Amino acid sequence: MKCVNCLCEAQQIPSELDGVEINCPHCGHFGVSASVLRQRLDRAFDVEKTRVFLHNWRDINPGRLPVINSENVIWAPSA
């Protein structure tokens, strides 16, 4: 599978999350809610800002899985 953030090869992890749980060598282990996946269609995440968000989340909430949801998603600017 491709990472939904950076599009590199990543592993989808079986999860009870309503969405997907991904382990990416560049973005780390995180989840994406089903609602964001539905909104995504032809949109992309802002890769660098999302990586910073995920890193900061892990620092603030050690041991908890960061999940990108409709309240914290960072979309790339439209072209």
- Does the pLDDT of residue 47 top 80, yes or no? yes
The residue with greater pLDDT, 46 or 40, is 46
- Does the pLDDT of residue 64 top 90, yes or no? yes
Q: What are the DSSP calls for 21-77, one per residue?
A: EEEETTTEEEEEEHHHHHHHTT--B-HHHHHHHHHHHHHHSTTS--EE-TTT--BPP
- Does the pLDDT of residue 23 top 90, yes or no? yes
Query: Which tokens in the block code for residue 33?
Result: 């809610």
Query: Which tokens in the block code for residue 66?
Result: 């960061």
What confidence score (pLDDT) does residue 78 get? Answer: 79
- Does the pLDDT of residue 75 top 90, yes or no? yes
pTM for this structure? 0.92
